[in-house]
Amino acid sequence: MSIASDIGSKGRSDDRRQKLFAGINRASAWLGALGLGWLTPLLKIAAGDNPREQMGELRDSLVFPLMGIVIFGLAWAALAPQVQTSLGAIPGPVEVWEQAGALWQDHVDEREKEAAFYTRQDDRNAKLIAEGREDDVKFRGFTGKPTFIDQIFTSLKTVGLGFAIATVIAVPLGIASGLSRPFNGALNPLVQLFKPVSPLAWLPIVTMIVSAVYVDVNDAFPKALIISAVTVTLCSLWPTLINTALGVASIDKDLINVGKVLQLSTPTTIAKLVLPSAMPLIFTGLRLSLGVGWMVLIAAEMLAQNPGLGKFVWDEFQNGSSNSLARIIVAVLTIGVIGFMLDRVMFTLQTAFTFSSNR
């Protein structure tokens, strides 16, 4: 009796463990997508798995990458002071970290100035009301400078807009050229022609055209934002277009034939057969596009002096103060981290919308 109950309870705890591990394994796909794959072995050890088995995994996913970063940091710290520029030695990690702090402090200070600005405005308005001049009361936005943090959000907004336009253009075109050989034939030379064009070449054309066409400027979408975003669109739509076309063209012919037998309408075919099959490649294209877009954006902002991280870098280069290099490096690292995070977000979406790499 007691033995039987022992077996029963062991079975139940085994069952729980199995469920726990299954859960961890399911989560690990998501963790991997988010760049947190090193959490999986740690979770397994915490759940009571044999630590030795997990150590190898942990070493590959956590220890080696950390070592890479540490070695890079040490090499940077050791080599940077060796190079003397006219702005002083190239800053090492410590100086860069200090400037990151200074930039954050700058942001905090600017917000305080903003609060003081609104207090002054309120005082002025209160005085006007007290004098019976309600008509003269005005509410105006803060006129201070954009801080580093503000510039990050400006850049994200710009790349988001450019990427959205690129997606809206590239996915339908890609589907059409994947489905129709004549259409593909017509589009292909144009893709080949425009794909290698640099953002710096597009920019003057885009600037002139947007300035001419976009006359009624909306406050939420200033001209500079549209110019940068359209430049991003022109450079980043190609990977999505090409991958979508490829994904659509390589659908299993049997599936298409089944569709024909069932006499599905074109929209239904696209929605039920084409899109689900082409999804993995479409997402691959979107990921590449977003990466290209983010890279292109900084160049466009630098050249056009449009607000964003690119302008921050250019202004610092022009400032030529002894802190400028460290600040530019902060911007470079920020650009890298944000680029990585954008890629992870797209990869996570891909994982969410596609169940396997091919269907």
Partner 1 sequence: MAPLGAHAEMLDVEKDELKFGFIKLTDMAPLAIAYELGYFEDEGLYVTLEPQANWKVLLDGVITGTLDGAHMLAGQPLAATIGYGTEAHIVTPFSMDLNGNAITVSNAVWELMKPNLEMGADGLPQHPISAAALLPVIDQFADEGRPFNMGMVFPVSTHNYELRYWLAAGGVNPGYYSPDDVSGQIGAKAYLSVTPPPQMPSTMEAGTIDGYAVGEPWNQAAVFKKIGVPVITDYELWKNNPEKVFGMTAEFVEENPNTTIAITKALIRAAKWLDENDNANRLEAVDILSRSEYVGADAEVIANSMTGTFEYEPGDIRDVPDFNVFYRYFATYPYYSDAIWYLTQMRRWGQIAEDKSDDWYADVAKSVYRPDIYLQAARMLVDEGMIAEGDIPWDTDGFRPSTDEFIDGIAYDGRTPNAYIDSLPIGLKTGETAASK
Smallest separation, CB 315 to partner 1 (Å) = 6
Q: Does 319 bind partner 1 (CB under 8 A)?
A: yes
Q: Does 59 bind partner 1 (CB under 8 A)?
A: no
Question: For residues 136 and 128, is the Cβ–Cβ distance under 8 A?
Answer: yes
Question: For residues 277 and 255, is the Cβ–Cβ distance under 8 A?
Answer: yes
Q: Does 82 bind partner 1 (CB under 8 A)?
A: no
CB-based contacts of 306, cutoff 8 Å, min separation 6: 158, 224, 225, 227, 228, 300
Q: Does 65 bind partner 1 (CB under 8 A)?
A: no
Smallest separation, CB 120 to partner 1 (Å) = 7
User: What distances in angstroms separate CA 34 from CA 54, 186, 342, one per listed residue?
Assistant: 20, 39, 10
Smallest separation, CB 98 to partner 1 (Å) = 15
> Which of these ranges, 46-54, 140-148, 245-253, 344-352, lies near partner 1 under the rule CB under 8 A?
140-148
Calpha distance 160→169 (Å, rounded): 14
Q: Does 318 bind partner 1 (CB under 8 A)?
A: yes
Using CB under 8 A as the binding rule, the residues of this chain from 85 to 124 that contact partner 1 are 86-87, 106, 120, 124
Nearest residue (CB) to partner 1, 63 versus 108: 108
Q: Does 316 bind partner 1 (CB under 8 A)?
A: yes
CB half-sphere exposure, 267, CA atoms < 13 A = 0
Using CB under 8 A as the binding rule, the residues of this chain from 186 to 225 that contact partner 1 are 211, 223
Q: Which residues bind partner 1 (CB under 8 A)?
A: 86-87, 106, 120, 124, 138, 140-141, 143, 145, 211, 223, 305, 314-322, 324, 327
